[in-house]
Amino acid sequence: MSKKLKAYLTIIYLACFSVLVILSINYSYKIDFFDITFLLIVTFVMNNYSIFFNYITEIKTSMTLPVLLSAFYFVNPLWAGIIAAVGTITFKEEIKYFVWYKFLFNRAVFFLASSAGALIFNLTTPVLDSNSFPIMSTLFASIIYFIVNNFLVYVVINLADNDVNQMSLLSYFRELSKNLITSYFLGLVLLASYMYFSKVLFVLVIILLFIIKDFFYSRLQQMNSYTQIIESFLKVIDSKDHYTEGHCERVANYTYHLCNEMNLSRAKSEKIISIAKIHDIGKIYVDDDILRSSDKLSEQEYKEIKRHTEYGYQLLKDIDLINDELDIILYHHERWDGRGYPEGLKGEKIPVGARILTACDSLDVMITGRTYKPPMTKEEIIAEFKKCSGGQFDPEIARKMIQLIKDGYFDDKFKSEEKIRELELSLEY
Ligand SMILES: [Fe+2]
Ligand SMILES: [Fe+2]
């Protein structure tokens, strides 16, 4: 341990001790045993049995502050500090891997932060919330608690020579401040239930929060497995069809931009983009020789390639997670004028996701070219979208696509004139 760190820890211990003595002199006679015990037990249980939102934000936000807001209201600063210091002892980390100076430091930090928060609460309540629910004073108290707690921890992290954790004070606070807002509002809900109803409701609200946490967590796990499925499919497609390697990924990227322009709900856009990533999955059932053939395809072979839309749909239709927008895969080669496949759907009968995908799919073919045709220039692509608007493409989508191209969204993707000429020459021989 460095000298600086030792000195810092000593200062914190002394500060904690001094504050404890000063507060004991001023407040020890005011004891509401029942409230103190209740809040202490709740804080302790919360800290040892769940860390709220931990999985979602990946930052440890415990329920300590929300519970402490009630302590600021119901008990004096001395006891608010003690509740925080004792209630935050965790069996899993601190008792099992006991290191005395870390243990003491944590107690001191919680004590100082909580008693500072409670003092600010007591000072501001008569001024800001004299006859009303203490919205403002709890806000100030939360901010003070947050600053004291995180600043003391920030210093110790930086003194501990831990490279991984070196970040500027500002970005450290910015990262954590999202949790402050959540904690503050949760704290208000808890305080209101404690003040106006009872301890029973207070506990019920906490249980409800746990249920919500579980809900979010299982949603998050579901999302993760969904992404994993998509990614493994993507690898399968790329390994199967080297010529179009990266095609699906690029199409998904174009889809992202086009969806943004289309004013779709975020959930819908996300689904369309995910499906775009695997839209050609059905090609894994198409014979390799046909896929890789650089000769002109026979009618039979072409028919087989076209079936990749149905193959893809059949393959995925039993997976619940993906099912929602699956017809995008089935219809991504339909045309606005009804001359597409597999069903020859026309106009708005084609799902909007599929219409978006058609435009993005074609854009990638135009940009990268195929064995039988060279890539097109930016101007040629714009002209092509104009020409095919109302034919292959939904006119509105074509218009938006042209705008995106003109606005330079895909400029890094287009090949230069020279490169295209080179490719053209190589195709002729
Ligand atoms: Fe396709
Ligand atoms: Fe495609």
Reported as a single tens digit per residue, the pLDDT across 154-203 is: 888 777 765 545 667 777 777 777 778 888 888 888 888 888 887 788 78
Tokens linked to 333: 């080669």
Closest ligand to the CA of 283: 1
Query: DSSP readout, 141-172?
Result: HHHHHHHHHHHHHHHHHHHTT-GGG---HHHH
Same domain, 165 and 294: no
User: What are the residues facing 370 on neighbouring strands?
Assistant: 373
Which of 170, 196, 222 is the C-terminal boundary of a domain?
A: 196
CB atoms inside a 10 Å sphere around CB 300: 8
Ligand 1 centroid vs 282 CA: distance in angstroms? Answer: 8
Q: Let me know how long the chain is.
A: 429
Residue 142 falls within a domain, yes or no? yes
> Can you tell me the distance from the alpha carbon of 376 to that of 382, in angstroms, rounded to the nearest whole number?
10
* Higher-confidence position of 61 and 179: 179
CA 153, 154, 157, 161 torsion-angle sign: negative
Ligand 1 centroid vs 408 CA: distance in angstroms? Answer: 25
pLDDT, tens only, 104-121: 898 999 999 999 999 999
Ligand 2 centroid vs 280 CA: distance in angstroms? Answer: 5
Ligand 2 centroid vs 199 CA: distance in angstroms? Answer: 60
Ligand 1 centroid vs 361 CA: distance in angstroms? Answer: 7
Ligand 2 centroid vs 351 CA: distance in angstroms? Answer: 17
Same domain, 123 and 34: yes
* Higher-confidence position of 132 and 335: 335
**C-beta separation of 265 from 343 below 8 A:** no
Ligand 1 centroid vs 332 CA: distance in angstroms? Answer: 6
Closest ligand to the CA of 309: 1
Backbone φ, ψ for residue 393 (5° rounding): -110, 145
Ligand 1 centroid vs 390 CA: distance in angstroms? Answer: 20
Closest ligand to the CA of 342: 1
Residue 288 falls within a domain, yes or no? yes
pLDDT-derived band at 129 (thresholds 50, 70, 90) equals confident
Closest ligand to the CA of 243: 2
> Can you tell me the distance from the alpha carbon of 63 to that of 77, in angstroms, rounded to the nearest whole number?
19
Ligand 2 centroid vs 254 CA: distance in angstroms? Answer: 12
Same domain, 71 and 140: yes
CA atoms within 13 A on the CB side of 219: 8
Ligand 2 centroid vs 281 CA: distance in angstroms? Answer: 9
Residue 205 falls within a domain, yes or no? no
Taking the C-alpha atoms of 284, 288, 290 and 291 in order, what is their torsion angle to the nearest 10 degrees? 60
pLDDT-derived band at 429 (thresholds 50, 70, 90) equals very low
CB atoms inside a 10 Å sphere around CB 270: 16
Q: Which of 8-22, 157-171, 267-281, 331-345 has the highest mean pLDDT?
A: 331-345
**Protein residues within 5 Å, CB atom, of ion ligand 2:** 280, 361
Ligand 1 centroid vs 385 CA: distance in angstroms? Answer: 18
Residue 47 falls within a domain, yes or no? yes
Residue 215 falls within a domain, yes or no? no
Closest ligand to the CA of 282: 1
User: What are the residues facing 393 on neighbouring strands?
Assistant: 389
pLDDT, tens only, 199-218: 788 788 777 777 776 677 67
Same domain, 314 and 421: yes
Closest ligand to the CA of 340: 1
Residue 218, judged by CB atoms within 10 A of its CB (0-12, 13-18, 19+), counts as exposed
Which of 196, 228, 253 is the C-terminal boundary of a domain?
A: 196
User: Which of 160, 166, 180 lies closest to 59, judged by CA?
Assistant: 180
Ligand 1 centroid vs 384 CA: distance in angstroms? Answer: 19
**C-beta separation of 294 from 320 below 8 A:** no
Closest ligand to the CA of 276: 2
Same domain, 259 and 161: no
Ligand 2 centroid vs 239 CA: distance in angstroms? Answer: 15
pLDDT above 50 for 136: yes
Which of 137, 162, 196 is the C-terminal boundary of a domain?
A: 196
Residue 50's pLDDT is what? 55
Same domain, 39 and 184: yes
Closest ligand to the CA of 361: 2
* Higher-confidence position of 367 and 4: 367
Ligand 1 centroid vs 426 CA: distance in angstroms? Answer: 26
pLDDT-derived band at 52 (thresholds 50, 70, 90) equals very low
Tokens linked to 337: 């004028």
User: Which of 275, 285, 241 lies closest to 255, judged by CA?
Assistant: 275
Same domain, 177 and 242: no
The boundaries of the domain holding residue 316 are 238-428
Ligand 2 centroid vs 423 CA: distance in angstroms? Answer: 21
Same domain, 327 and 181: no
Residue 206 falls within a domain, yes or no? no
The CATH number given to whatever domain includes residue 340 is 1.10.3210.10
Q: Which of 5-14, 87-96, 137-146, 396-405 has the highest mean pLDDT?
A: 396-405
Same domain, 188 and 276: no
Same domain, 171 and 69: yes
Ligand 2 centroid vs 296 CA: distance in angstroms? Answer: 18
Ligand 1 centroid vs 405 CA: distance in angstroms? Answer: 22
Residue 225 falls within a domain, yes or no? no
Same domain, 183 and 271: no
User: Which of 317, 332, 426, 308 lies closest to 374, judged by CA?
Assistant: 426
pLDDT, tens only, 300-334: 888 999 999 999 898 888 776 666 788 999 999 99
Domain count for the chain, please give it.
2
> Can you tell me the distance from the alpha carbon of 364 to that of 359, in angstroms, rounded to the nearest whole number?
9
The CATH number given to whatever domain includes residue 157 is 1.10.1760
- In percent, how much of the chain has pLDDT > 90? 28
Residue 226 falls within a domain, yes or no? no
Closest ligand to the CA of 311: 1
Same domain, 168 and 302: no
Ligand 2 centroid vs 361 CA: distance in angstroms? Answer: 5
Ligand 2 centroid vs 240 CA: distance in angstroms? Answer: 13
